[in-house]
Every structure is written in C-alpha cells, then in structure tokens.
Chain A
C-alpha cells in the first residue's frame, strides 16, 4: 500500500482527520505506518489531554454511545475536533518524508536596509544553529522581508518551516507574499475555514491554533506577534507551538511590542534578541497626539460622534488619506453606524471624490461575515473611512492612512494595542508620515506608556 509520508508526517491526527477507510487504516497499522497514541494520559494521578495538555475542569464526562460508556473528553481544544477517551491519536511511524532541497528558492529581489540586514543575518544564523531568537522590530520595519534570507537558507538544507501567527487575517495577507517570494516551494496557508486543509506543504503559514494538529513537525518555527491575543494569554497555544517543533528546531519570535515577560528575558540575557528600531523607509514612527473630548462617553453611548473628531477630520494635514477609526467595542460600532455615515460623508469627498456613497463608510468587527471583503475594499481604496474594533490593530498594512482612536482610555486598548494601532499610520515610503490621535475623556496609564514607548524607539533610531 502507498501512503504519502508528507501528508501524515509530523502530526497527531484523530481518526476522522485521516481520509482512509477502516480496512485501509487497519492495513496501515499492520504495516506500522501509524502508531496509536492514547488521547489522554495520566501523570501522578492527574489526567491530561494529549493534544493540548489541558486538565480539569476542561476534561468533562460524555455519555458516549459509540463505546457505550461514560468517559472523559477535552473541551479545551474541542474546536479542532473532539478528543475522546475512547479514541486514539494516529502518529506517523512510516518512512520520513523527503523534503525537497531547493537550490535557489528565493525570488524576492528587494533590498534590505542596513538595520534589516543585521536582523536578517541574525535570523539566518539562528536558523542554521537551531537556536532561539527574539526579533524586536518596530511596526513597519519590514519583518517579513527580514525572514526571507533565513528561510531561503533553510530550504536549501531541505528543512520544513512554519510561520505561525495568532490571526487569520495576517495569514491571508502573508500567503501571496510568500508565494511570490518562493515560487518553487509548496507554500500552504492553514486557518479555520482555509480552502487548503491537508497541511502537507514544506513552508506552512498557519494560525497558532492550527499548530495543535502537528507533532514534532518543523525544523524552523517562526511565531509572529507573540504578544498578540490570543497567543500571549492562552497556555494551550504555547503547548501547541512547543509540540509542533522537532527535537532540534530553530525558534524565531517576532514582535513590535514585547510584553513584560520578554523584556525581563532580554534584560537577563536568557533570550538572544535583535532590535530593529527604524522603519524600513527610515522615517520615525508617528507619535500619537491626545485630544480631550468632554462628554465623550455620553456621546458614544448615545451613538453620536464627538465634535473633536470632526474638527480633526476638517483640519488634517493631508485630507486625501483614508481614515481608520478604532472603537473599543462592537456594540458602539453598531450604534454609531448610521450617524457616522451621515456626519462623515462630507469628508469622504476629499478622500475619494466621485464615488457612490454606499461603500464609502463601513464598519467591521470580528464576527462580521463580510469582514474579509470589507478590509479588501478599504485596501483597494473603495472605502474612505472604516470604523473598526481592535481586529485591525496589527498585521495589516494600508499604504496611506490616518488613525483615530475613540475612547483610547478604554480597557481593551492596552499599551501594546495602542503602539500597534499607532503603527498602522505612515507605512509606505511614498507617504511615510501619518497622523494618530487618541480621543479620550481622561488619560489612561496605557496611553502614556504607549506614547513614551514610541518616543523611546524614535530616539534610539536617531542615535544609530
């Protein structure tokens, strides 16, 4: 019998994830192509899920009709398919797959700046030595391009590589860029509802959740935005990323806003790191301005926009830029919609003249069905002003935008989020300055810290 090792190697799969008939699977087991692994394990009398390491209270009883008994199942990782006690994981035990050795895989012809090159060399070196590296690069430093050199070297050695990021939007944005940069390599994107689900590529772009399916799979694991939700807060995803690595594996972590934990590791020199303080176009990061708006909370609750925002829109330095307006909650976004369309419409004339009014102002949030299409429309300059929740805070690039944050003192906007949001402005070399304004009714600690962090990075960039 013939089974493709690439399809199954480096994974722990449930029965329903293996597209083989019962007889074919039995035969594969007899030929020792697969190994059966129990789904739960017991350590010191405590049960753990063998996929996500969850324990009580995430393990709950199910009265299972398939085996006729009541046993445990794991609720923690159930969105990747239910792990029940009466089933097994199937782990590939057949021949190792031959990953292609690419002689000259990288077709990207851009040039790196001096600072990018330093980071790229460090990444390349780390990948060769199977080490660990934290890349701290400001928003818009060109992190993706810095990776290409290292990835190319790894592909020349026939390694398997995964780039994981907490957000599906980012995976969707990265896929075409990687396909262009590595045209001869099988690049695959995996996320909830992705068209491709097989996961047999050599270079895999995935959301961190998808790593749960993998087991000892990758020679190089790159985790983008390690400080982003949900990765930094969900221990399950840390387990998933540890398990997806081979025993010897290079780990690269990318971030623009390291959290306390990473800062401590950098200070204690337990985690090698490289810092890129300059954007790839060499211009400083836009420093957010704060505008106090009295009665802001009340206005937002009523579904009206603050006067300060309108005044700012009127006096912008470059009135042709598109505008990103961030809101703390979905409820506010919905409430504002109609009012916003009426009041903001005059401003759209300068941004995108002579357009039909329907798509000029849009709201978008996480549960939005047309989310992808709306973001794409904004990117194509069909939408002038977009009202969004924090889903567009990171990983997305729009060439020329100004950014406004309404109620910037709200709890959802922590320091990292604010720095990231401010980093959406001025990303293209053609328009490297952008305006960022925090509208607030009483400053928060996070706002002050974010402004200070941006100033520090700009100062460090100047010193170089």
Chain B
C-alpha cells in the first residue's frame, strides 16, 4: 500500500525504477516515544510560554513527568524573566567617537599586556631596586662618614649652614674674640723658637694657623 504523501511520485517511480516503486513506503527512522509532545513543551518553555494552559494535554503531562525532574523547580520561569529583563535593558549610548574608542581599546590592551598578573613579582622587585638606587644617589656624598673622621664630616657641611652659623654667632668671630680664642701657650713649640721654617710644619698645623 502506498501511503506516500504525494501519490504522483509512485507513478513517476514506476517508469524509471520499477523495483523501487514496488517497495512499500515507510519512514526509515522513528522518534523516541513521547518525543514530540516533550519537544513542544520544551520549546514552548524556551520561548517564554508562561501560560501552560495553551499547551496540549499530552505535552503538559510529559512536561510534568520529565522536565520537572531534570531541572530545579521554577528554573525556566526565572530564566525567562531574567532573559526578558536583560533584553529589555536600555542599550548603552556611545558618546565617544569611534577613533577615540579605538585608541582607548589599544591602550587598554597594551596596559593589560604590560601588567600581566604573572609579572607582578618581577615588577615589585624592579620597583624596589629602583627606589633603593634613588635613595642611594640622592644622599649628598653617597654614604655617611666614618665615626671620628672630622675632615669628612666638615666637607659634608653645606656652605649655607656655615654662613648661617657664622651669622648667628657673629660675636664669636670678632677680631678680639678671635685673638683671645687662641692661647699662645697652646701653639706648637716651634712657633716660639727664633728660626721657624715653614717646612717644619705639618699640613694640619699650617691649615690650623691659616684659620
């Protein structure tokens, strides 16, 4: 028996393929039992069918028996509401021109490339080294003078500090005060002798006398 949807096809086959024309028409595949009722309910749910009353009875039964057991209760309704609220949200208005957005995107990409999380330790170490180096070179002479090295300490005194000190202690630097500041008895013995040769003085002694 030919239950083919279009009977003219059998007549056509008879002329070009007689054996094929004699083979009874039958779908070569079949769907699992209840598939179509389930499919209707699944698709209806996916496209936000809230009113279940409109579903065919068979689809409702299958939905109740199978779908409810497969997903959390109310999942699809919540999902539908969430999706509807998302699509209903107003679109963001673009206020910047396209070329500016391109530059911004490239900048953001560049920064993201440089400040990758895996390089954070390397950047931290490098930053620390740079900071220590800056502090090192920022000190006046590179390092503190050894204890007891007066000459070194004197060299580190700024001229402005000396000038300020002298202004604040002007009375100590008057000629009288200067003259009374040194006791002749405290001078080296060579100065009291008749024949004094400069060569006999050490550099420190000469510097002391010149002051």
Are A and B associated in one complex? no
